[in-house]
Amino acid sequence: MRLNEHPVLRFERGREVTIYFEGQPIKAYEGETIATALHAAGIRVLNYSPNKKRPRGLFCAIGKCSSCLMVVNGIPNVRSCITLVEDGMRIERQHGRSRLPTKAKPPEFKDAKVVKADIIVIGGGPAGLMAAIHASRAGAKVVLIDENPRLGGQLVKQTHKFFGKREQFAGVRGVEIAKILEKELRKSENAEVFLETSAVGIFQEGEEKLVLAVRKERELIEFRGRAVIVATGAMERMIPFENNDLPGVYGAGAIQTLMNTYGVKPGDRVLIVGAGNVGLILAYQLIQAGVEVKAIVEAMPKVGGYFVHAAKVRRLGVPILTRHTILRAEGREKVERAVVAQLDENWMPITGTEKTFEVDVIALAVGLRPSIELLHQAGCQIKFVRELGGHVAVRDGWMETTVRGIFVAGDSAGIEEATTAMLEGKIAGIAAALRLGIADESWVEEIEKAQRDLDEFRSGPFGRRVAEGIRKALLGGVAGE
């Protein structure tokens, strides 16, 4: 199941280690996650659900959906998709909820570690990296935290070359952009990075912002600063259909993580749901990795993504069934088949049009929604904007939300592209430094330049819809539909 040859990617694996799954030794490599190593060994079922005892596996693969919880070294509820393997680790499937220990010592109070900075950036994807780079260049002391084991966010699995201008990395693959940005940030003496660190709350204490975070699930850290930039990205959308929780039903991004970041084949035969750009690019990437794509189904009458991507996929022999939807997944402990059907004008399946595909993976490429939990919890005004993928934080042109000192950038501000996420990150980073009185006025020009670049990028047919959404999300902007 491991990929050793790939037309675009080279997989650098760490030292070989042994982990134990339900007592059985399994070969793994340092630097990969538990779920990755188990998947490479053919293990799809990671836990059984609490009430209905249903088998569950990966879904989002970036630590958000909690479908991958396992018992690791005796500790339950470990997110196996973002926890790295360690030599000798003991891993068991979790069966429902774990019982609390019957005997426990009263805990000893201990002060949390405190890390101080001017600006705290949450999220190390394209938006967060650019925010941190520019805030530190503008003179601010910056701390960037991310719950994943590596920086780059979703860039680390983008094998395609970017569009746009040269300064926006046109012609460079996403995975390379991640490396360039990380190198740039690591050069700064003003910036510090905390990986495997989850932010769990944002508080105001006097003039200070406090971001409460947990590193490696065991160390509490208080990040204290005067501004916070939330760049927490997005979450894969799930859709309702029969057995939509069967292991093997994966978010498109999860498949990219397995295949492009860790070099593990997601399966042998795939049905993709959704013919937007993500679904189309995923089909191409699967074929590059030697996986058969049986078909792409799309509920809309037309393909949603760029024509060039659709044409490429069709040339490779993948049928795109528009006006079709998935009815159900079938299989005992994991996906063995997918049943699809044609839709009528009222979006109802037409009896007699069912088709069955023998697949072991169903990829859901049905869109993303902004990850706004921290913004919502911190009291930022939230608004539903369909064009931006769901609920987003209301903000001004400098990406500051309705809570002073809390900024937002990237997909967590509205679903768009990595290129626009980088521009928004740059704006938020500089704006935070300006509003704290750290950066001098000459930096305003840089913000205006980035705003012009954003407008230009959004002037195309796809961008116009987003631009309409942004107008609704702007402070004092147009009312919702």
Partner 1 sequence: MAGKTIVCRCNDVTVEEIEALIDSGVTDIEEIKRLLRVGMGPCQGRTCIPIVISILARKTGKKPEEIAPPKARVPVRPVRVEVIVGGADE
Q: Toward partner 1, which CB reaches closer, 104 or 308? A: 104
Residue count at the site for partner 1 (CB under 8 A)?
62
H helical segments located in 396-460: 418-435, 443-457
**Residue with Cβ nearer partner 1 (210 or 282):** 210
**Phi, psi for residue 461 in degrees, rounded to 5:** -60, -35
Residue 99 interacts with partner 1 (CB under 8 A)? no
Per-residue burial over 76-97, b if 16 or more Cβ lie within 10 Å, else e, is bebbbbbbbbeeebebbbbeee
Judged by CB under 8 A, the chain residues 100 through 119 that form the site for partner 1 are 105, 107-110
Per rule CB under 8 A, is residue 402 in the interface with partner 1? no
Work out which of 114, 220, 474, 478 binds partner 1, going by CB under 8 A: 220
Can you tell me which of 117, 121, 185, 235 binds partner 1, judged by CB under 8 A? 235
Residue carrying the six token digits 């002060």: 111
Residues 393 and 379: their CA atoms lie apart, in Å, by 10
Task: Give the footprint of partner 1 on residues 19-58 (CB under 8 A).
Answer: 49-52, 54-56
Q: How many beta carbons lie within 10 A of that of residue 372, not counting itself?
A: 22
The residue range among 16-24, 378-386, 411-419, 424-432 that interacts with partner 1, by the rule CB under 8 A, is 378-386
- Give the Å distances, CA to CA, from 209 to 266, 435, 442: 41, 14, 26
428 CB neighbour count, 10 Å cutoff: 34
Smaller CB separation from partner 1, 14 or 379: 379
Q: Does position 244 bind partner 1 by CB under 8 A?
A: yes
Q: Which two structure tokens, joined as six digits, stand for 420?
A: 């626009």
The contact pattern for partner 1, residues 66-85, with x = CB under 8 A and - = no contact, is: xx-x-----x-x--------
CA-to-CA distance for 461 and 169, rounded, in angstroms?
21
Site string for partner 1, 174-213 (x = CB under 8 A): ------------------------xxxx-x--------x-
- Alpha helix positions (H), 276-319: 277-288, 307-315
Q: What is the DSSP pairing of strand 208-215 with strand 197-205?
A: antiparallel
CA-CA distances (angstroms) from residue 172 to 184, 262, 283, 422, 437?
16, 20, 20, 14, 35
Reading the block at residue 179, the tokens are: 């490396």
Tell whether residue 481 is a contact of partner 1 (CB under 8 A).
Answer: yes
Of 347, 174, 366, 369, nearest to 271 (Cα)? 366
- According to CB under 8 A, which residues from 315 to 334 bind partner 1? 328, 331-333
Q: Does 307 bind partner 1 (CB under 8 A)?
A: no
Which residues in the 338-377 window bind partner 1 by CB under 8 A?
369, 371-374, 376-377
Task: Summarize as ranges the residues that interact with partner 1 (CB under 8 A).
Answer: 49-52, 54-56, 59-60, 64-67, 69, 75, 77, 105, 107-110, 198-201, 203, 212, 214, 217-220, 235, 237-246, 328, 331-333, 369, 371-374, 376-377, 382-384, 386, 390-391, 480-481
